[in-house]
Chain A
Amino acid sequence: MISSLLFSDRAPKVARKSMDFNAQRAGIISTNIANGETPGYKAKSMEFESVLRSVSSNEFLKIKSTNSKHISPSNPDFSSVNANITTDPSQGRIDGNNVNLETEMTNLAETRLAYDAAITAMSKRGAIIKSAITETR
């Protein structure tokens, strides 16, 4: 009852999954940076935006309930969504390592920004709900 009332919206679920993925991506980028001098190491990258987008847009194609007595379509379960992790196969340097430190640093900054933005957006959204509950005077 409480969870269907408060935690069933789609936006927080998508945001949560996005934050999960961003944290995972930060880990992957850190691994790349840490292995910047490892001979034969191939840089990994992660793509989750398109997966997230396709899952959340599928919702719009779902059946609509025409009667209030019908069971409304539930929001998609984002826990089963997985990101694509790819390894860059290029040769790169002479020792077989293809980590580009500049690119990795830029990606790390971008990931951090996306993560922070999602957190800020969610806490602002939470503040609205909180003020509805507490009737702040």
Chain B
Amino acid sequence: MSNLRIDSFKPLGAQFNLPKVNAQEASPNSFGKVMAESMKEVNELQAKADISIEELVSGKSKNIHETMINISKADLAFRMTLQIRNKAIEAYQEIMRSSI
């Protein structure tokens, strides 16, 4: 009966050789950094869209399609960042809700 003993729990990480994650040290491409960079990019796209609107309405450029493309770019970039943020918060809340 000696082979029926139950071992104490071991961390799964040791079994599967998972890399240790240290919350304190952020890697150069951390999620936070990527997010901050995308925010900056979204902001730039929106500023660019604003400038092209101004140029269109003041007759500086006759390029209607270019203006619309710039606005659509700003719109899409913003919506995507918003959704990624929503998903990240959702994931966080899911983890916070889970019982141990």
Contacts and interface: CB of A to CB of B under 8 A. Distances in A.
Nearest to A17: B57
A117 interface: yes
Contacts of B78: 128, 131-132
Interface in B45-91: 46, 49-51, 53-54, 56-60, 64, 67-68, 71-72, 74-75, 78-79, 82, 86
Nearest to B85: A135
Interface of A: 9-11, 14-15, 18-19, 49-50, 52-53, 56, 113-114, 117-118, 120-122, 124-125, 127-128, 131-132, 135-137
Contacts, number: 71
Interface of A, secondary structure class, is helix
Contact of A128 (B46, B56, B64): B46
Nearest to A15: B57
A9 B54 CA distance: 11
A124 B50 contact: no
Contact of B59 (A49, A121, A124, A136): A49
Interface residues of B, number: 22
Contacts of B82: 131-132, 135-136
Interface in B5-44: none
B58 A52 contact: yes
A128 B49 CA distance: 11
Contacts of B54: 10-11, 14-15, 56
A125 B53 contact: yes
Given A121-B53, A125-B53, A53 B75 contact: no
B59 A53 contact: yes
A127 B74 CA distance: 11
Given A128-B78, A135-B86, A52 B57 contact: yes
B63 to A, nearest CB: 10
A14 B64 CA distance: 16
